[in-house]
Structures are given as C-alpha cells and as structure tokens.
Chain A
Amino acid sequence: MIVAGLLLAVAAVVLVALPFLRDPAARDDRLDAPSEAEERRLALVEERDRALAALKELEFDHRTGKIADGDYRELVGPLRRAAASALRALDAEARYGAAVTAFEPPDLPPEPAPPPDEGTPPTPAPVPEPYPPPDEATVPAPPQE
C-alpha cells in the first residue's frame, strides 16, 4: 500500500510538471490574457447584447400587455438608439480599433406618431435576436442622415 501511495505521488508530480516537460524552453510563456482591444470589444459586445436583450424584452412585454403604448413609445427609441450605437461602435472597433470606438452616432429620427387608440397597439417592428451569431445577424438598417 505504501508503494501504491508513492506511485500516486509520483504520478501527480509528473502530471503537475507536464507543462514544463512538454515545453522546456517556451518562447512565449505569457498567459494569453485578453489585450486592451479585446477587453474593449468584450465590453462593447456586452453592451450590444444588453441593448438587444432589453429591446427584445420590451417588445415582448408590450405584446403581452405588461407595458402601455405610451411607455413603450417612450422607451423603445432610446433602446433602439443604444442598440444601434453599440453595433456601430463594435463595427468601428473591429475596423479601426480604439481610435473611433468613442464615436457617438447622430440621433435617429423621432419615433412614428402614436396610434390614436391605445387599446389596439401597433404591431411592433421586428427586432433582431439578441446575441446573434455572425451568420444569423440581422443588423438594423443604419439611420437616414
């Protein structure tokens, strides 16, 4: 049994030393931590996901009658602007790096006029799924300047 215990200890030491045994003279021994740019991208992705999820929630709450038409109209504009802004900033980050990440988009045109009757809410505009994979993304149309 003592031999078995020793074998266990030796096996553990070998496995623990394995990264050094495999690569005794590593050229790059740094942890591949995210770069500053990657951290910025991550923050923007979180912002985008949060904005798209909030839009989706708002649409769903409106369709299920939890939110009044007036509140919906008041909230949907800033959320759409935030989502579009996050998407643009993400796109700019991917294309040009940090230099244009702080780009602030111009204000979008105002929301359409409120419907006359609150009892029959308008069919909301289709909203993209949050966190869409790149191949399924349906990016909202850019604002008309």
Chain B
Amino acid sequence: MADLGRAALVVTLGLSVYALLAGAVAARANRRRLADSARNALFCSFASTLVAAAVLAVALARHDFSFSYVASHTNRALPTAYALSAFWGGQEGSLLLWLLILTGYGALAVALNRRLLRDLTAWVVPVFGGIATFFAFVLVAVASPFGTQTAPFDGAGLTPSLQNPYMVAHPPMLYLGYVGLSVPFAFAAGALLSGRTDERWIVATRRWTLAAWTFLGFGQLLGAHWAYVEVGWGGYYAWDPVENAALMPWLAATAFLHSVMIQERKGMLKVWNMVLVALAFELSVFGTFLTRSGVVNSIHSFARSSIGPWFLAFVVISSLFSLALIMWRLPLLKARTRLESALSREATFLYNNLLLVALCLTILWGVLFPILTQLVKGETRTIGRPYYDFFLRAFGLPLLLLMGIGPLIAWRKASVRALARTLAWPIAAAIAAGAALVAAGAGSSRPGLIAYTFSAFVLATIVVELVRGTRATGSVFALVARNRRRYGGYVVHAAVVLLAIGIAGSSAYSTTVERRLALGETMHVAGYSLTNRGVTVARKPNVTETRAHLAVTGPWSGSIASGNNDYVNPPEPSREVGIRTDWARAEDLYVIVDEAHPRTNLIYVEVLVKPLVNLIWVAGLVFLVGSGIALWPDAREQRRLVTRLVPAAP
C-alpha cells in the first residue's frame, strides 16, 4: 500500500515538472500539441495525487500502523471520523491535502477555461505546475506520509484537542481557502506572462477568488469556535501567529475583491490588483510555512517540523518571481482613466483597500517581529495582544464606517449635498443607537460604544440601500437577482457588523471573576450565583474525567460542570470548560475550572459572562448566505461573457 502511495507521489512530481517545463516551452514557442500535453499532465497530476490521498485515507481507516504517519496520529480507540481527520492532523498529511486541492483546483480551473481563454491557460498550466512541483517535491523528498515501520500493536493517538467535530471541518476549510488563492494567482501570472492583461483573467477567476475567500473566512470562524469550546481560556481569538497566518491572506483577498471592481468598471488599479493577488497567494504559502515550520511559538505546536527552510525558499522565490513579473509588465498595466473625485464609490474602495492592507501588514509585522529579533539580537521578543488590539481599533473602526458609507455613495462623483441627504437616516439611526446605549450603561467602553454606533450606522445603510433599490426596481428579489454580487456583498457586510457587535460585546463588556471555592461555597458574577457542589472522577478506558459541579441560580437555574480530561494514549491532559448559552439575554456563562481536588472538593474556578458572543457564530452563517448569493451562477452574466469572448458571426 505504502509503495503505491509513494509511487503515486513520484508520478505527481514528474507530471508537475512536465507541466511546468513543457507548458512554459509550449506557451513561449506557441506549440499547441505540447500545450495540450502539459495540460493533460496537470489533469493527470490530480488523478495521481488522488490515488496517493486514497492510499493514506484507507490506511487511516484501517488503522494500518505499518504507516509511520498512521501510527503517530491515530490509535485503535479513535472513532473512524477522527481517524480520517488525522489526514490533516499531521504535517505530511496536511501537505498532501494541499497538493490534492491544488491539483484539483488547477485541473478544474484550466478545464473550465481551456476553450474561451486558450492563450491564457497555456501560461496558467506551467504556473500551476510550478506550485505543484514544490509541494510534490516536499512530499516525496522531505516529508513523506508514506514512511513505513514494523507495525506496533497500537498507535500514539490523535492530540485530544483535535478530537473535536470542529477540527474535522476547520483545517480542510482553511486549506480550501489557502489553496484557492493560488487560482487567481496562477491566472494573474498567466496574464502577465502572456502579456494579455485585459479583464479576462479577472472574469475567469472572480468566483474562484470569492469561493477561496469564503472558505478561508468560514474556516477561521470554525477555528475560533473550536478555540472557544475546546482550548478553554475563555476567548476565541488570541492573535496567535498561526491564527494570524489565516487572517492575513483573507484581509489581502478582501482588499482584492473590492479593488477589482474598480478595475472592472474603470480600468484602474491594474498594478495594485496584481500586487494584491500576489500578496494574498504569498501570504497563504507563508501561513502554511508559519503553521508547519515551528518557527514561531504557537498554540498549534502539534504541527512543528523541519520543513521550514523549504517553505521559506519557496515564498522568497515566488515573491521575487511575482514582483519581477509585475515590473516587467508595468507598461501594460497603466490605467487609462483617473479617479474623478475623492468623494465617490471608487474612492471609498480605495480608502478601504489602504486600511485593509495596512491592517494586514501591521499583523504581518507583529508575526515577523519575534523571528527578526531572534535573528538579529538572538533573543525572542513577542508582540502581545495590546499591539494587535490597538491596530484592530485604529484600522477596523474606520473600515466599519466606510462599510456604511461605501454602498450609499455614487460611482464616479458624489456631491456633499446628495451624500448628506442619502446618509441622513443612517446617521440618525446611529446617533439614536449611541444615545440609547449610553443610557443603558454601555458608555463604560469607548471603543465598544463606537463599534456599536458604527454597526448601527452600517446596518441602517444596508436597510436604506435595500429599500431604495427595491423602490427603483419594484421587487427586492428582482433587485438582488439583477446584481447578486452587490447584494450578496451587503449580506456579507451585515455579517461583519454582527461579528463586530459580537467581538465588542464579548471583549469590552465581559465580566470575569476568579475564586477558590470550598464545597458549598458560593460566588457571584454579573447576576449569577454559582455554588460548588463537589468534584467527581470518572475512569474510562482511555481517559480519566475529573469534573467540578456547580449549581447556578440567577437569570437561569441549573448546573454546570467543568474540569480536566487526562488521556492515557496519547498521555495528554485536556481542559474541559462548561458553557451555558442564554439566548434570551444573548450571553454565555463560561466556567473554567483550573484545579479540582477530588478528596477535598476544593476548586479554583474562573467564571466569565460574555455578552453577545454568540453573534460571532451567527455572523458565520450570515456570511455563508451572503457569499452564497454572490457566488450563485448568473446565466445572464455567462451569456455576456460568451458574447464578449466569442466574436459574433459577421
């Protein structure tokens, strides 16, 4: 079995190298059969990678411990779903998943565009071939998932924190996003290499970019929810370098999704868009490097390895390649029009882009700083939460405001008078919301109050925009159907508002109390009373579960338990928190028992009351709905594309 997996990966490597070299020669020398052959090599590389992935999946499902990877990441007690999720629980498996998605995406994107964009795809194939060559090489020569050994009786098992339903979905979702960003990159590079920098590459990759961005965004929310329920520190985002690794390409892709609309409408920002596409791709590879190299301290320490230098070399080479390509084609990327007014939709998109990229680069600096200080001074200086929180407020709040102004401002040029008239209702709604919040006592946190007020403003602008659009077209369904991308985008804006409210509420207005409680003792937190009812210990085949039980009275009455799990295989502890959601009050009671002594029934407990935190998870669902609307195929648009690309009969 392992031999077949190894052979399949070697075949993939050979095919990828061929797609790279033959594809480049064919595109350069204008040779059709060679280009078709290189394209077939890309298709076949997906098939051979699929064979390799199937071999690993079968080995995981059968607990075949003769595979070192299977023995290192699973054991017999592991349910099949988690055994299969070990595919991406370790470094080699997750790299194989990268390659599988990359070759799959590449084959599909090239197949879908091979007739309409034949000249462009001739150059896209070698770009995909180049990226696949790197990953196939790493899997064949550096980190193979098909190493074998004498099979032990049982495996080492999967890290307990990864045995969670969210971890079954979170990593593949992130990979679908990370790797998805290679599609716009490959087409952009293909456009530059071929010298055909018209809009076809944008039209061809619009949905790919949106899909990758959706996967990446939703994947991060799944990861945040996993951290909230599993890691047990009471939060959902810790500005961990590996978390930031997923956020940075998402921010760059968000900037691109906005700025590309200006290129489509006005033929401007061509260089900027190329830079953003390259930045998003490089950050996605850099993110994989951060996750897999162990170069930074992270809670994702289960993913450390020695493949870092290979990734770093790839990031450097591909960044230089992108930069050189853009510089080479600068004359083709000149804009033919200019920004007509600083008060226009395109100007707000530009401001939005600057803020998004500034936030992205600020986070990048925060991630790189410890690595650079280690290299330069030999000591690691980490950047903490206050740094990130400051820049999140500095760039995030203006972004939130722009999200409200943007939809209501006209393209090309808007007058102050028209803008004031359009914004009157949203401003009134924001002021009313702000005053009501101050009256309700929300003035204790200025950033929180600003975030809430801006959120009210944005929600009001979305409502105003929908009402006016519906009046103009006669029906809200007709309105959305005529421009799915725009109105899907507004739904996504609503999701971001819910996210902002959830983050502001759960961070600026949360209450935390830590206490040592003896048996029968009671503590009071934000209207709740919690009484220690004792500690129990349950011994199961692979785990000892210690739980402190607390009786709760207040807004609701009942009991809540929290404690630790001590696993036998792998021998690791896992903190188990108690969470009770009160939907009527829109808040969570979050209980963390740090220590529980079964003999004395003494516990050390931290209790958090987190208002509005669940809006963050609701935002994830709204985000999916909005992205779904924007992604939904539009037959009219397809017809337009075909008439644009296929010359009409004379």
Residues of A at the B interface (CB closer than 8 Å) are 1-2, 4-6, 8-9, 11-12, 15-20, 23, 26, 28-34, 38-39, 41-43, 45-46, 49-50, 53-54, 57-58, 60-61, 63-68, 70-71, 74-75, 94, 130-134
Contact = CB atoms under 8 A, between A and B. Distances in A.
Contacts of B6: 5
A1 B1 contact: yes
A50 to B, nearest CB: 6
A117 to B, nearest CB: 15
B648 interface: yes
29 contacts: A1-B3, A1-B7, A2-B3, A5-B4, A8-B11, A8-B48, A9-B14, A16-B18, A19-B32, A20-B33, A23-B33, A33-B119, A34-B119, A38-B647, A46-B199, A57-B265, A58-B410, A58-B411, A58-B412, A64-B468, A66-B408, A66-B409, A66-B419, A67-B410, A68-B417, A71-B410, A71-B414, A131-B643, A133-B643
Interface string B1-44: 11110111011001100100000001100111111110011011
Contacts of B408: 66
B4 A4 contact: yes
B472 A60 contact: yes
B3 A5 contact: yes
Given A1-B1, A20-B33, A31-B35, A67 B418 contact: yes
Contacts of A39: 196, 198
Nearest to A9: B11
B8 A57 contact: no
Contact of B118 (A29, A32, A54): A32
A19 B36 contact: yes
B644 A29 contact: no
B306 interface: no
B-side interface size class: 35 or more
B422 A26 contact: no
B639 interface: yes
Contacts of B650: 94
Interface string B606-650: 000000000000000000000000000000000111011101101
A137 B41 CA distance: 42
A66 B35 CA distance: 50
Contact of A1 (B4, B37, B267): B4
Contacts of A26: 32-33
A10 to B, nearest CB: 10
A100 to B, nearest CB: 15
B4 A71 contact: no
User: Residue among B1, B264, B643 with the most chain A CB within 10 A?
Assistant: B643
Interface of B: 1-4, 6-8, 10-11, 14-15, 18, 26-27, 30-37, 40-41, 43-44, 47-48, 51, 118-119, 122, 196, 198-200, 264-267, 408-415, 417-419, 421-422, 465, 468-469, 471-472, 639-641, 643-645, 647-648, 650
A31 B27 contact: yes
Q: Label chain B's interface by main secondary structure.
A: helix
Contacts of B421: 65
A101 B472 CA distance: 37
A26 B35 CA distance: 14
Nearest to A64: B468
A1 B33 CA distance: 33
B422 A66 contact: yes
A41 B647 contact: yes
A13 B381 CA distance: 52
B411 A54 contact: yes
B418 A66 contact: yes
Contact of A9 (B7, B37, B40, B472): B7
Contact of B418 (A8, A68, A75): A68
B640 A17 contact: no
A59 B465 CA distance: 15
Given A5-B7, A9-B7, A50-B264, 11 more contacts: A1-B1, A1-B7, A9-B14, A18-B36, A34-B119, A54-B265, A54-B266, A57-B411, A63-B472, A64-B468, A94-B650
Nearest to B194: A33
A49 B469 contact: no
B43 to A, nearest CB: 7
B529 to A, nearest CB: 53
Nearest to B12: A12
A43 B198 contact: yes
A11 B51 CA distance: 13
Nearest to B337: A50
A130 B122 CA distance: 30
Contacts of B30: 30-31, 33
Given A54-B411, A57-B265, A29 B33 contact: yes
Contact of A30 (B3, B31, B639): B31
Contacts of B37: 16-20
Given A1-B1, A16-B40, A134-B648, A31 B32 contact: yes
Contact of B40 (A15, A33, A94): A15
A12 B411 CA distance: 52
B121 to A, nearest CB: 10
A94 B415 contact: no
Nearest to B408: A66
